[in-house]
Amino acid sequence: MSTLISKLQAEQLKKDVASFRVGDSVKVHTRVIEGDKERIQIFAGIVIARKGCSLNEAFTVRKISYGEGVERVFPLHSPKVAKVEVTKSGKVRRARLHYLRKRQGKDAMSVKDQAYVES
């Protein structure tokens, strides 16, 4: 039974997943379907958490919109997520950045910068 489940999960995994970590600034391109039309909408912010593994992996992105903090959780291997683009790499020493929720203004969107090197 578990081999059948693992085969089904392997088929649904994305092959071209961008490598990013907690603390990176990303742009998440999501597919939005309105009626019979489909368009791409971008959600840009800082990755504050990653959880799960394999097909169940998800990540949380936080941004400040009109002075209010907005967080959104995206399944990594979802067909609704078209692309994850890393704009700036950050260097953090935590697995979860929930302390950013308490910050105000510019401090809420800043973590230590790191020169991004593709590997």
Confidence of residue 114 (pLDDT cuts 50, 70, 90): low
Alpha-carbon distance of 79 to 75, in angstroms, equals 9
Predicted pLDDT of residue 6? 86
Tokens representing 51 are 């959880």
- pLDDT exceeds 70 at position 110: yes
Predicted pLDDT of residue 104? 83
Predicted pLDDT of residue 1? 74
Report the b/e string of 94-103 with b at 16+ CB within 10 A: eeebeebeee
pLDDT tens, 21-78?
A: 999 999 999 999 999 999 999 999 999 999 998 889 999 999 999 988 999 999 999 9
Domains of the chain, earliest start first: 15-101 (2.30.30.790)
